[in-house]
Amino acid sequence: MPHPAVPARRTLLKALAATPAAAALASAAAPAAAAEARAGSATPAAPTAPGIVKPLPAEHFTVRGTNAEARFDAFADTGFLTPADRFFVRNHTSTPVLDARDWRLTLWGDGLHGRDPVHFTYGQLRDLPSVTRTALVECAGNARSLYTTQQGQAVSGTAWTLGAVGAARWRGVRLAEVLRRAGLARDAVDLLPRGLDDPYVSGGTDYGRVRRPLPVAKALDDVILAYEMNGEPLPYDHGHPVRLIVPKWVGIASIKWLGDIEVSTRPLTSPWSTDWYRLLGEAHPPGGSAPITRQTLKSGLQLPFGATLESGRVHRLTGRAWSAYAPVRAVDVSTDGGASWRPARLHDGPRRGAWVRWSLPWRPERPGPATLLTRTTDAAGNTQPDRAVHNTQGYLFDAVVRHPVIVT
């Protein structure tokens, strides 16, 4: 298959400005800011991770390699939506600082009527009818470290706790609309959206740019090409100028810095559907499961692990719960290690593809260590199990989280 040139990509500038709106000023402002920093008169910069543009203050993020996990325990001071400056970042390589004016999207392949690739500039995309929807983005490996800490099982990959998830309001164009305008053939079955970030190299192998097959049926259902997050232009780290949002599916489906989409009449693969994002291990078929698609269900407490709580007073336990299968129906909490359960109060209405905030008052009586458990049940009857089924890459952790606290 011949491969068209990918759209123009700006040289990676590690811009000092953290928002795209400030990008135009960045080149002018950068030398002055750098000089000021050298002179020691600037306030110290918040820590960052290699390749991530936005500041990552320690009270809000834990840096894990090229990624930044949001501190779930600190989500108590965020509302239903996760602000962009609190949203986790999962980067295979590093954030490319792209200029919307140079950007265009290319659709190509035998799944289009015409032979020639079809292009959309940023302006053309913005002129198409827009949709706005709230959706979670959650990494397939969110809570992966709990396979080890809670179940004693080895897994490979970034050792996330619960913070590789966030909810945002995304505005953009339906992928169905763009495919229709590009001339989607009736017999097209698979798309291969691909990012403009650097090729992913690991263990001496170059896997190429981040790309993952997306079935046409899902693409036509509810996928959007998003250019706004919470009412602002998409931030650099979250895919500026345009990313996919694939509601309810594992985060890898939501390709950031989207550059091109192959449209094919044959099933497509990439290392992100063959080597990774399958369930491998004893409980799974030899060679692994089919590529994973839908995310799972979880709940968590907005409290650090090992938090201390004073006995003899009422504490308001708070958290969030979500399910990719159906709206959350209930959250139950145990403060005695799972012996008894009480229903939490839900603060958000049941919504597909989003989370609910919940709370429960608790008055611990006796000082000493305690284990708090939270369990969500959705409207389809799915409920968090006591143990997640192990897979070697640690995807789709869904078990009840055992949250240690110390009562003083």
Ligand X SMILES: Nc1nc2c(c(=O)[nH]1)N[C@H]1C(S)=C(S)[C@@H](COP(=O)(O)O)O[C@H]1N2
Name the residues that contact Mo ion, by CB under 5 A.
90, 139, 251-252
Return the bridge partners of 323, or none.
297
- The answer to whether residue 317 forms part of the interface with ligand X (CB under 6 A) is no
What is the rounded distance in angstroms from the CA atom of residue 108 to the CA atom of residue 125?
17
Q: Which is nearer to ligand X, 254 or 391 (CB)?
A: 254
**Site of tokens 């500038």:** 13
Cis bond leading into 285, ω under 30°? no
Q: Which is nearer to ligand X, 254 or 302 (CB)?
A: 254
User: Using CB atoms, what's the residue nearest to Mo ion?
Assistant: 139
- The answer to whether residue 174 forms part of the interface with ligand X (CB under 6 A) is no
What is the rounded distance in angstroms from the CA atom of residue 43 to the CA atom of residue 25?
20
- Single residue of 257, 276, 322, 362 touching ligand X by CB under 6 A: 257
Smallest separation (angstroms) from ligand X to the CB of 261: 12
Q: In the β-sheet with 328-334, what is the strand arrangement from edge to edge? A: 307-309, 401-407, 368-378, 328-334, 342-343
**Site of tokens 């919307």:** 100
DSSP state of 41: -
Q: Which stretch binds ligand X (CB under 6 A): 97-105, 250-258, 261-269, 324-332?
A: 250-258
- Single residue of 92, 144, 218, 390 touching ligand X by CB under 6 A: 92
Q: Which is nearer to ligand X, 251 or 288 (CB)?
A: 251
- The answer to whether residue 355 forms part of the interface with ligand X (CB under 6 A) is no
Smallest separation (angstroms) from ligand X to the CB of 94: 9
- The answer to whether residue 89 forms part of the interface with ligand X (CB under 6 A) is yes
Q: Which is nearer to ligand X, 212 or 403 (CB)?
A: 212
Smallest separation (angstroms) from Mo ion to the CB of 158: 8
What is the rounded distance in angstroms from the CA atom of residue 162 to the CA atom of residue 151?
15
User: Using CB atoms, what's the residue nearest to ligand X?
Assistant: 195
From Mo ion, ligand X, none, which one binds at residue 197 (CB under 5 to 8 Å depending on kind)?
ligand X
Smallest separation (angstroms) from Mo ion to the CB of 212: 10
DSSP state of 312: T
How much of the chain is in helix, strand and coil states, percent to nearest 5? 15, 30, 50
Do the beta carbons of residue 213 and residue 191 sit within 8 Å?
yes
- The answer to whether residue 106 forms part of the interface with ligand X (CB under 6 A) is no
φ, ψ dihedrals at 58, nearest 5°:
-60, -25
Cβ neighbours around 370 below 10 Å, total: 18
Q: Which stretch binds ligand X (CB under 6 A): 24-32, 124-132, 178-186, 246-254?
A: 246-254
Would you state the structure tokens that stand for residue 195, as one six-digit string? 């990012």
Sign of CA dihedral 102, 107, 109, 115: negative
Q: By C-alpha distance, which of 332, 298, 315 is closest to 146?
A: 298
Per-residue mark of binding to ligand X, 127-166 (x: CB under 6 A): ----------x-x---------------------------
DSSP state of 290: S
Q: Which is nearer to ligand X, 54 or 403 (CB)?
A: 54
From ligand X, Mo ion, none, which one binds at residue 106 (CB under 5 to 8 Å depending on kind)?
none
Smallest separation (angstroms) from ligand X to the CB of 209: 7
Q: Which is nearer to ligand X, 276 or 358 (CB)?
A: 276
Would you state the structure tokens that stand for residue 280, as one six-digit string? 């491998």
Burial label, 204 (beta-carbon count in 10 A; 0-12, 13-18, 19+):
exposed
From ligand X, Mo ion, none, which one binds at residue 75 (CB under 5 to 8 Å depending on kind)?
none
From ligand X, Mo ion, none, which one binds at residue 238 (CB under 5 to 8 Å depending on kind)?
ligand X
Extract the runs of DSSP E, i.e. beta strands, from 335-400: 342-343, 345-346, 355-362, 368-378
- The answer to whether residue 256 forms part of the interface with ligand X (CB under 6 A) is yes
Decide the pairing of beta strands 401-407 and 258-264: unpaired
- The answer to whether residue 54 forms part of the interface with ligand X (CB under 6 A) is no
Burial label, 313 (beta-carbon count in 10 A; 0-12, 13-18, 19+):
exposed
- Single residue of 238, 240, 248, 315 touching ligand X by CB under 6 A: 238
How many residues bind to ligand X according to rule CB under 6 A? 18
Smallest separation (angstroms) from ligand X to the CB of 196: 7
- Single residue of 20, 163, 172, 195 touching ligand X by CB under 6 A: 195
Q: Which stretch binds ligand X (CB under 6 A): 43-51, 82-90, 262-270, 357-365?
A: 82-90
Give the footprint of ligand X on this chain (CB under 6 A): 87-92, 137, 139, 195, 197, 210, 238, 251-252, 254-257
